[in-house]
Chains A and B, each alone.
Chain A
Amino acid sequence: MGSYIVRRVLQIIPLLIGISILVFILVNAVPGSPVSDMAFNPSVRPEDIARIKHALGLDQPLYKRYFVWISHVARGDLGLNMVTYQPVSKDIAARLPNTLKLTIAAFFIALVFSIPVGVYSAVRRNSWFDNIGTVLSVAGVSIPNFWFGLLLILFFSVRLGWFPSGGTASFGNGSVLDQLHHLILPAFSLAIVELAGWTRYIRGQMLEVIRQDYIRTAHAKGLRERTVIFRHAFRNAFLPLVTLFGLSIPSFFSGALIVETIFSWPGIGRLAYDATVARNYTVIMGTVMMSSALVVVGNLLADIGYSLLDPRIKQG
């Protein structure tokens, strides 16, 4: 078991290096930088631009800049923000909690709705509940999450006035209740697609498991329906879900970028968006690297969780 975990952890190192090279190449293929815009400013002299470029290391050859950057990444400060001259890690540290709050809330919303609906649909296969659930889940998978977010704002903020249309908290009011109030709409619009997808997946998994002989055995022993479903069936259907949760992490982050833009939510998605608009290299690289690392680590945790939960994968 221990050796399996060690091996999986070691495997992510080349993966992260590969990601860092790809991200670096992509970012540096973007022509221009915050500095090149200064060329249009008549009060900035060419020698100043050269000086700033030198200070930021932009006059170095590409491979040298990569090693400078990767050493910053290894040290944890992710390089200097090209506009504010602060370590990028500071920007990310300021924003990351908001994104995590949003994604974790969305994750739990998706979980809380998809498990009961998926399980019940499978148990009452072809009932009206199942049929409605199936229609709604296809409808949910297909919905553009940014449009769903806009509709939520349109109805619940503009029309009904029940929820705020953006931000993380009201001005001068930082209470938990107020923050939750701000969290509900963005979290729902981030959750909707995964919620629907997971429901269908859970239903499918449960249908597979319910057909197995050991479920019939459990029924034959005279166990109660609820015991059979939750103790015998769901436990087995749950295992593949752990992998699915891991695989959903990238789409949560992509979704967060959009949802944060719509709801003016100051997270790293919004940070990446602003940095891309401003061509602030180091911040873009930092945010992409950070979220890729979270994706990789998330998948790793899902794999390890899977092997811990499934007694059949005890060997390394």
Chain B
Amino acid sequence: MASRSDEQTKALPVGAADVAEQGTAVGGRLEHAARRKAPGYLARGWRRFRRNPLAMASLVVFVLMVLFSLSGPLISKYVSHQTYENQVLGNTFKHPGETASTIQIGGPNSGQTVTYKYILGSDELGRDVLTRLSYGGRISLAVSFITLALALTVGLLVGSFAGYYGGWVDSVLMRIVDVFISLPGLFVLILISSMINNNKIVSNSAFYRNHGWLVLPFVIAVLSWTTISRLIRGEFLSIKGRDYVDAARVLGAKDTRIIFRHILPNVIPIIIVWGTLVVPGLILTEAALSYLGFGVQIPTPSWGNMLTDSQEYFSRAPYLVVLPGLCIYITVLAVNLMGNGLRDALDPRLND
């Protein structure tokens, strides 16, 4: 994108001067028109996206889920009055809306009391579900987006080098991609997860004890870079033969410059669409791994690991099954609908 707007700004003064000469005859309006930049590809895409009510609604829902997840400390402080790890063993399995406790304020004999409620109930250890859902959402979403960034980085490098250089580089890289694609995902992910989490050097570090969930994006990313690398490779194969790439090469541009400045900006729409279509899968993978106990480790909450033991409390506390899954479901659904809208808005093939 950067290179294209460079060319445009360089080209503008020439055209603008021409217009200015004739400007007197047409009355200045043409000059105005020439100065105004035509809306770019992404701007036009956004305009189409905005006209799609379902996509816009899902964008709003997604933003709300993100805000809910980000507001963990606020909810903890002002709404639930509980931290996410606050266990009250006398208050296990309180159903949504049940009273948590009546707390004396202003000294023991003041007579002033405040009553708190478990808005979404409490779990088997008497922890507030609402607070945990909010903090869990943070972890779940953060894991997904870090994974996205990691997978994109690897996929981008592999795809662009394979597509640009072709030949044996392409063959070797694509055979590696074939191997990764043939692996049954979860089997390998629980393996990699246990490999890292059981490593004494990793698990004894202070960083791991505080931020152990940061391991998870690296685990999931191991298997999620393949699709985008194939897509980018395909685009590079078709773009690298274009005239402007030859022109750049004739001008003496280095390979890295051609790859990153001249070809890469053209695959941005594909990356955006891939990103929105892959995030639901990443959220689901995180949830599945955490559910199985190979993802985010307790006491850190995530939407997946909140479901882990819920199966044992089916009859006592069905909301423990329903609520975390519902959060995952709403988020994934919103991102999926957003992704569909974005694909319709950006896909050049539907653009006639």
Residue numbers of A with Cβ under 8 A of B are: 14-15, 18-19, 22-23, 26-27, 29-32, 138-139, 141-144, 146-147, 150-151, 153-154, 158, 250-251, 253-254, 257-258, 261-262, 269, 272-273, 276-277, 279, 284, 287-288, 291-292, 295-296, 299
Contact = CB atoms under 8 A, between A and B. Distances in A.
Contacts of B288: 144, 146, 258
* Residues of A contacting B: mostly: helix
Interface in B174-216: 175-176, 178-188, 190-192, 194-195, 198-200
Q: Which 10 A-B pairs have the closest CB atoms?
A: A147-B325, A253-B184, A254-B186, A18-B179, A142-B333, A30-B195, A142-B332, A254-B185, A291-B184, A257-B186
B192 A26 contact: yes
B284 interface: yes
A142 B311 CA distance: 21
Tell me which of B186, B315, B329, B336 has the highest count of chain A C-beta atoms within 10 A of its own C-beta.
B186
Given A138-B333, A150-B325, A19 B292 contact: no
A2 B116 CA distance: 74
A19 B179 contact: yes
Interface of B: 175-176, 178-188, 190-192, 194-195, 198-200, 280, 284, 287-288, 291-292, 294, 307, 310-311, 314-315, 318, 321-322, 325, 328-329, 332-333, 336-337, 340
A138 B337 contact: yes
A151 B321 contact: yes
Given A18-B179, A143-B329, A144-B328, A292 B322 contact: no
A219 B340 CA distance: 32
B329 A144 contact: yes
Given A250-B185, A279-B198, A26 B191 contact: yes
A26 B199 CA distance: 13
A283 to B, nearest CB: 11
B332 A15 contact: no
A82 B106 CA distance: 64
B194 A279 contact: yes
B191 A284 contact: yes
Given A30-B198, A144-B329, A18 B176 contact: yes
Contacts of A299: 182
B195 A272 contact: no
Given A31-B200, A138-B337, A279-B198, A153 B314 contact: yes
A154 B187 contact: no
A258 B186 contact: yes
Contacts of B314: 153-154, 158
A172 to B, nearest CB: 25
A150 B319 CA distance: 12
19 contacts: A18-B175, A19-B179, A31-B199, A138-B340, A141-B280, A142-B336, A143-B329, A153-B311, A153-B314, A250-B183, A253-B185, A257-B184, A257-B186, A258-B291, A269-B187, A273-B190, A273-B292, A276-B194, A288-B188
Nearest to B331: A142
Given A18-B179, A147-B307, A253 B328 contact: no
Contact of B287 (A18, A32, A144, A254): A144
Nearest to A11: B178
A154 B321 contact: yes
Nearest to B303: A144
Given A147-B328, A153-B311, A158-B315, A19 B182 contact: yes
A50 to B, nearest CB: 20
A288 B332 CA distance: 28
Contacts of A143: 329, 332
Contacts of A19: 179, 182-183
Nearest to A19: B179
A295 B195 contact: no
Contact of B333 (A30, A139, A251, A254): A139
Given A151-B322, A158-B315, A295-B182, 10 more contacts: A18-B179, A22-B180, A23-B183, A142-B336, A144-B325, A147-B329, A251-B185, A261-B292, A276-B194, A279-B198
Given A15-B178, A26-B191, A141 B336 contact: yes
Contact of A150 (B175, B176, B307): B307
Contacts of B186: 253-254, 257-258, 269
